Every structure is written in structure tokens, then in C-alpha cells.
Amino acid sequence: MKKILNYINGEYCEPFSGDWLDNYNPSKGEVYSKIAFSSSVDVEKAYKAAKEAFPSWSNTTAEERSNTLLKIASLIEENLEELAIAEALDNGKPLSLAKAVDIPRASSNFRFFGHAITQFASEAHESVGLNTMNFTIRQPIGVVGCISPWNLPLYLFTWKIAPALAAGNTVVAKPSEITPMTAYLLGDICTKAGLPKGVLNIVHGTGPSAGQAIVSHPDIKAISFTGGTKTGEHIARTAAPMFKKLSLELGGKNPNLIFADCNYDKMLSVTVRSSFANQGQICLCGSRIFVEKSIYEKFKTDFVAKVKELKVGNPFEADTNIGALVSKPHLEKVKSYIDLAKEEGGKILFGGNQVTVEGSENGYYLEPTIIEILDYQCRVNQEEIFGPVVTIMPFETEEEVLKMANSVKYGLSATLWTSNLDRTMRVSKQLESGIVWVNTWLNRDLRTPFGGIKSSGVGREGGFEALKFFTEAKNVCIKYD
């Protein structure tokens, strides 16, 4: 059976423990490969390689680092087919989605930060009268840790690694143990692109073992993490006494606010996507849909009709819209929220059932599920479900919908549908979230700040924000006569 090895100091290697985890193919519910079960010993080995590589890598010119990152970007593109197949197999997402979104975006991450670093400048402040000139040096931090989740595996792994490397850091990274395959394949691509040994080290294994070893390593000075809010809390608690720099991208329970004056057809088709893309397993999915009362009944009918058309099936069939959920425990968690919705007085307007796919009977498939549930404060409307499940409810006024939208502990993104410019401004400013999409969804320009407020995280990634995170600013003040 295929073994997913660590990639340390430019070489693939087995974990020190000799232990392996099972890696499941969610579309079949079968173990199909083995994952290195790494411990603090492997993390230490990775750290040492990164530490040794740091002086040389941090002293390369921005152009040299840029060139290497652009080569990695091109190689990801050249291997798009193989990587997309690996992603669909490992995660359960439709192959068409992996080909159109995940892998192209992984390539864009390297390409974008390869270019961005050549334009990254710092400020100078001249104090005329005091005869001083201040300038800011932005220096790489050293060895940094990047930890990523399973929903957009290579996409989010590279979203962290690319800016960290561009800024001149060396990296110890860990992908999710649920979807490690494309991160494993990235090692080989980096070698082919000529990334020097030790600059990027990839350690596989569980959160409590390898992940915890990265976070608690005293000399890994910054941690960029995307994952669950509970894990983020734990990481913050571990890292705070060591004063590590932290970037935490956590969960969401995002509102989708639909006003009667919107472009209805466009809203309807995008709302199907923002609800169920990637089986609803995107932290940016709009899982709470609020619809203005005058169009509520029409929306309900049309939305259900559109969602009925979605095909749940094998990720490798071209017409599949919704693949498998990522794991059995996750499927069970999502199903438990559907049961809870019924207990909380919800009405299932569509879906709610596990699906048996012919030829893949043990796969983790679930119908896209629409629940009408009017209490905006019930658990189903407050807790992150992270699956193909949305709730819908009507509202009458802006004030009312803002109150409901902002009632959750999360604050990652929000979507607003209206053609009224005044309302766009008023509502965007009052929504408690790091991102507001107006008349669109998941529209990403990589230069923009990305991140959440409240329990959705701390810090921003994207563009120069990411390069700022992965550097330390130093003020040099020169007095002249």
C-alpha cells in the first residue's frame, strides 16, 4: 500500500516511530494508503533542517526566491491532472472542482507570492527638524510553522507556505492527517523546482502529536493555522506563553442576506453554490440564509427546485455536483445536526438523508439539505456544521436581519444580495465579519486581506498582509547632523 512519507531536508523519509495511520478514500470508505505517524522526534529533525537552511535562504535575493516559487507554480500547473485526481481521491470532492479550483489556486498561490515579494517594500519616515531618518527593515522570522485543514487541502497548505517562503523563512509544515496526499506530492515538485534542501519540510501525522510538537517547539517562532475554532483556541493557549506570532483562520457560520431588490436569478444560482460547493465544507459557505419576507415563499420553492437538480455521486463522474464528505466521523457529525434541527423545531424542506451510491456503497454521501428553522438562536443556527446543510428563514427589516446575522460567535464572511447602493454601504459596515461579498460569493483577489473577527480568528492573510505576518518589522533610526 502506498506510504505517505515525511519530506525533510529535501528527502522523503519514514517516521522515527515506524508507525502509520490509515488514510481513507471517502468516496469508497476504504483505506487506500498509509500516513507517517510522526512525533516530536520527526518535528525536531524537520526543525533542524529548516534552521540549517535558513541563513542561506534568507540571504537570497527576492528575485531568486521569486524564480523558485514561479517554477513551483508552473510544475503544479503541469501536474494539474495528477494532483486533481489525488485531491478528489483523498478528500471526496468532485474531480471537476479539484481541477477548476483547488489545484489552479495552489499554483496561483505560489505565482502570486512569487510576484508579490518583488514588490514588497517598507516605509521610511524622515523627522525633519529632529534630523532623523527612520526606515523599516522587514526581516524573515526564521523557522515558521504552517498547519492546514482537510477541506481545501493543497489550496490552503500552499496559501501559507508560499508567503512564508517568499518572505525568506524556512518552514515546518503539517497538512491535515485526513487529506495528506497532495502535500506529500508537493515535496517532489519542490525538489524538481530546485528549492534548496531544508527550506520546506513537511511532516505528517495527527494534530495532538506532530501538530502539537510544531506549536510547542520553542524555536518555531510563528504559527499560521487554519482549522477548527476549538483547535485554534488550544494553539493560542500553547503559543501565547512563548510569545509566538499567530495567524488563526478558524470556523464560520456565515450569513447570506437576500433582499427583494436583488438580481434574483443571479442570486439563486450563486446561492446554490455558496450553500453546497465542496459539500458545504468551506469555511466561507453561507450556511444561514435570510430572505426578505416579500420573496421568501418564491425563494423557498425555487431554491428547493434547483437543489433537487444537484447530483450527489462518485467524485470521478463528470456530472457529479456533490461528492463524498471527508470522513465517517464528519458525516456522523453533520447528520447529528440534522437530527438536532428536527428536535429544535426545524422543517426539512429537502434532503436530510445519507445517500448510497452504486459501486461506492461505503462512501460518505449525504443529500444537500435545506432546513427551515425560524429560531435564529437555536444551536443549529449558532454552531458550525461544515457540511451540505443550510438553514433558511425570512426577515422584514434591515435592522432585524442584521441582528440575526450578527448573533453568532463567528465573524468570517457574509454575503449580501441587493441592488441598492445605500443599503450595500449601510449593511456592509454593520455586518460583523472579515469579508463581505455583495452580489457575488467566493470572489477572491489574492491582494485583499483575508480573515475573520470574533471566534473566526486572529490576523489577516493575503497580499502584503501575509508577507507582513511572515516578517518582523525593525525600525532603524539614524540621527544626522
Residues with a known catalytic role: 249, 283
Kindly tell me which residue out of 184, 386, 395, 450 binds ligand TXE, with binding defined by CB under 6 A.
386
Question: By Cβ distance, which residue is nearest to ligand TXE?
Answer: 207
Query: What is the C-alpha separation between 343 and 375, in angstroms, rounded?
Result: 12
256 is a contact residue toward ligand TXE (CB under 6 A): no
Binding mask 314-333 for ligand TXE (x = CB under 6 A): --------------------
Contacting ligand TXE within 281-310 (CB under 6 A): 283
Pairwise CA distance, residues 349 & 372, whole Å:
7
* Minimum CB distance to ligand TXE, residue 262 (Å): 27
**Contact flag: residue 182 with ligand TXE (CB under 6 A):** no
**212 is an interface residue for ligand TXE by CB under 6 A:** yes
Which helix or strand (DSSP H or E) is residue 20 part of?
strand 20-25
Burial 86-116 (b: 16+ CB within 10 A, else e): bbbbbbbbbbbbbbebbbbbbbbbbbbbbeb
Residue 145 near residue 172 (C-beta atoms within 8 A) = yes
Stretch that binds ligand TXE, among 21-29, 249-257, 292-300, 357-365 (CB under 6 A): 249-257
Under 8 Å between Cβ of 73 and 111: yes
- What minimum distance in Å lies between the beta carbon of 210 and ligand TXE? 7
8 Å CB contact between 102 and 84? yes
Of 20, 57, 113, 150, the residue at the interface with ligand TXE (CB under 6 A) is: 150
Q: State the minimum distance, in angstroms, from the CB of residue 238 to ligand TXE.
A: 7
Q: Which of 15, 29, 92, 149 binds ligand TXE (CB under 6 A)?
A: 149
Ramachandran region, residue 279 (left: φ > 0; alpha: ψ -120 to 50; beta: rest): left
Asked if 434 contacts 453 with a C-beta cutoff of 8 angstroms, the reply is: yes
Instruction: Please state, in angstroms and rounded to a whole number, the distance separating the CA atoms of residues 181 and 83.
Output: 9
Residues in the interface with ligand TXE (CB under 6 A) total: 27
Query: CA angle 40-44-46, nearest 5°?
Result: 115
- For 445, other C-beta atoms within 10 Å of its C-beta total 9
56-64, 67-75, 228-236, 416-424 -> range binding ligand TXE (CB under 6 A)? 228-236
Q: Which of 42, 87, 102, 384 binds ligand TXE (CB under 6 A)?
A: 384
Binding interface with ligand TXE (CB under 6 A): 147-151, 174, 176-178, 206-208, 211-212, 215, 226-228, 231, 234-235, 249-251, 283, 384, 386
